[in-house]
Amino acid sequence: MAAGRGPAVGLSERLARVRRWSWRVFHYPGSERHSVLLVLKSTLAATLAWVVSYYALDAQSPAFAPFAAVVIMYVTVYQSVAQSLRYVGAVAAGVAVQAVLGFLVGPDLLAFVLVAVIALAIGRSRVLGVQGPQVATAAFFAFSAYVSAGDNMTRISQLGQIVLLVLIGCVIGTAVNVTIAPPLRYRSAEYSVRLLARALHDLTADIHPVLRDGAPDPETTATWHERAKQTDDLIAQARAGLRTARESVRFNPRRRLRRHRGHLNFQGYARALTALERSLSQLVSLTRSLDQWRQEESEYDYGHFLDRYAAFLEAISEVAWVLSTLDEKELGRLTANVDGLVRDAQQRRREVAEAAETEALPLADPIRPYGALVVEATRLMEEIQYTSDTLHNWYGPDVSGEATPGAGAS
C-alpha cells in the first residue's frame, strides 16, 4: 500500500512546487519572473529573425539569424549591445579569413587547416571576449558554404549572407531586449549589501555565545576561522551583483522612469559594500587570533575579558542583522536603527579595552592573542562606524528637513 502511494505523493509534490514557482512568477519580481521573461523575449526575437531571414530574404541558411538573436539576449541591455558588437565582429572576422584563404588556396584540406589556425588565433583576442570562439565557428560554417557552392559569385553571395543574417539577428535581439521589459537590475546592488551583512551577522552570532562560556576549544575556533576565510567567495558574488546593477542602467530606457530614479546612483551601495568587505576581512584576523588562543594559560583571569568581547560581538551581529534587511525605500528608519546599535557597539568596544587593562592582560606579548583581539575589535568597530556614516551620507536631509534617499550619494 505504502509503495503504491509513492508515485502519487511524488507527483503531488512536483505539482506543488510548480504551483509555488508559478505564484512567484506572477506575484514577485524575482529570478523566476526574470527567467520567464528571458525565455519569452528570446522566443519572440528568434521568431522575428526567422521570419525575416526565411520569408523575407529567402536565405539558404536562415538559422544564423535566430541563433544570433538568442545568443545576445543577455541579462542587461548594456551586455546585449556590447556582445552584439563583439559577436558580429567575430563572425565577420571568421568569414573574412575563409574568404581570403578560400580564394587564394582553394577549397582543399590545406585551406581548412590554415583557416582553423588563423581563426582560432584571432578568437583568443581579448577584444572579442567571450565571443572569441565564434570566429572559428563562423569560419568553419563559411568553409562548408564555400565548398558546397558551384562558382565564385555564389560563394561570395553565401559568405556575405552569413554576416548579414548574423547582423539581422543581433539587431532584432537587441531591439527586443531594449523595447520589451528591458531588465533593470538595480536591486542586485541592494542584495549584495544584504549578502555580506548576513554573512557578518551569522558568524558573529555564532561566536559570541561560545565566548561567554569561556575560551573555546581549538576545533571550534578553527571552524570559525575557516568560515571567515570562505567569505571571499561571497565578496566576489556581491561585487558581481553591484556590477550587474550598474550595467543594467546603461542604454536602458527604463532608467528615466520617475520610480527608478532614486535607486540609480550606486555610490551608496558601493561604499557600504566596501565597508562590509573590510569588516569581514577584520573578522578573518579576529578569528585567527581566537584560533591561536592558549587554553592552558591559567595565570590570567580572562573570563571577564571574554564576556565583554562576547558582548561586543553580539552588538556587531545586531548591527549586521539590520544591514541585512537593507531597503532603500526605508533607508531613514534603517539609518536610525543602525545609529543606536552602533553607539551601543562603541560602548561595548570600550568595555573590552577596559577589561583588558583591569585584568592586566599581556597586551604587548606577540605570542598571546589579547593585544591582537583588542586591536581587531577597534578596527572592526571603525568599519562598522564607517558603514553607519555611509548611511548618513546616503540619506541626506533636503531643504524641507525631510530625508531624501540618494541625496548624499551624488
Asked if residues 335 and 392 have their Cβ atoms less than 8 Å apart, the reply is yes
**What is the rounded average pLDDT for all residues in the chain?**
78
Cell of 355: 577589561
Q: Could you report the per-residue pLDDT of 371-381, keeping only the tens digit for each? A: 778 888 888 89
Nearest-angstrom CA–CA distance, 377 and 313: 9
Q: Supply the pLDDT for residue 360.
A: 62
pLDDT at res. 188: 66
Find where cell 590545406 sits. Answer: 110
Alpha carbons 7 and 409: distance in angstroms, whole number? 56
pLDDT band, very low/low/confident/very high, at 152 (cuts 50, 70, 90)? confident
Determine the Cα–Cα distance for residues 327 and 391; give it in Å rounded to an integer.
12
Does the pLDDT value for residue 335 go beyond 90? no
Report, as an integer, the average pLDDT of 329-348: 83
Paired strand residues for 396: 404
User: How do strand 395-397 and strand 403-405 relate by DSSP bridges?
Assistant: antiparallel
- pLDDT, residue 296, reads 46
Percent of the residues in the chain that have a pLDDT greater than 70, as a whole number = 76
C-alpha 337/C-alpha 395 separation (Å) is 13
State yes or no: pLDDT of 405 exceeds 80: no
What are the pLDDT digits (tens) for 232-281?
777 777 777 667 666 666 655 555 543 444 444 567 777 888 888 888 88
Tens-digit pLDDT profile for residues 45-86? 999 999 999 999 988 889 999 999 998 887 667 777 888 889
First to last CA, the chain: 68
**pLDDT digits over 105-139, tens only?**
888 888 899 999 999 999 998 888 889 999 999 99
Pairwise CA distance, residues 167 & 395, whole Å: 45
Distance CA 99, CA 114 (A): 12
Helix (H), strand (E), coil (C) string for the chain:
CHHHHHHHHHHHHHHHHHHHHHHHHHHCCCHHHHHHHHHHHHHHHHHHHHHHHHHHCCCCCCCHHHHHHHHCCCCCHHHHHHHHHHHHHHHHHHHHHHHHHHHHHCCCHHHHHHHHHHHHHHHCCCCCHHHCHHHHHHHHHHHHHHHHCCCHHHHHHHHHHHHHHHHHHHHHHHHHHHHCCCCCCCHHHHHHHHHHHHHHHHHHHHHHHHHHCCCCCHHHHHHHHHHHHCHHHHHHHHHHHHHHHHHHHCCCHHHHCHHHHCCCCCHHHHHHHHHHHHHHHHHHHHHHHHHCCCCCCCCCCCHHHHHHHHHHHHHHHHHHHHHCCCCHHHHHHHHHHHHHHHHHHHHHHHHHHHHHHHCCCCCCCCCCCHHHHHHHHHHHHHHHHHHHHHHHHHEEECCCCCEEECHHHC
By percentage, how much of the chain surpasses pLDDT 90?
A: 21
* Tens digits of residue pLDDT in 303-331: 777 888 889 999 999 988 988 887 767 76
Which residue would you say has higher pLDDT here, 289 or 294? 289
The pLDDT confidence band at residue 407, using thresholds 50, 70 and 90, is very low
C-alpha cell at 33: 519572473
CATH number of the structural domain 187-409: 1.20.58
Asked if residue 400 has pLDDT above 90, the reply is no
Please give the pLDDT value at position 334. Answer: 77
- Report residue 16's pLDDT band, with 50, 70 and 90 as the boundaries: confident
- Residues 209-224: what's their mean pLDDT? 82
Q: Where are the domains of the chain?
A: 30-179, 187-409
Q: What is the pLDDT of residue 261?
A: 46
Total-model pTM: 0.55
Residue 318 burial by Cβ neighbours in a 10 Å radius (0-12, 13-18, 19+): buried
- Write down the pLDDT at residue 84: 87
Q: Which pLDDT score, from 0 to 100, does residue 397 have?
A: 44
**Which of 33-37, 113-117, 185-189, 389-393 has the highest mean predicted lDDT (pLDDT)?**
113-117
Is pLDDT of 301 > 60? no
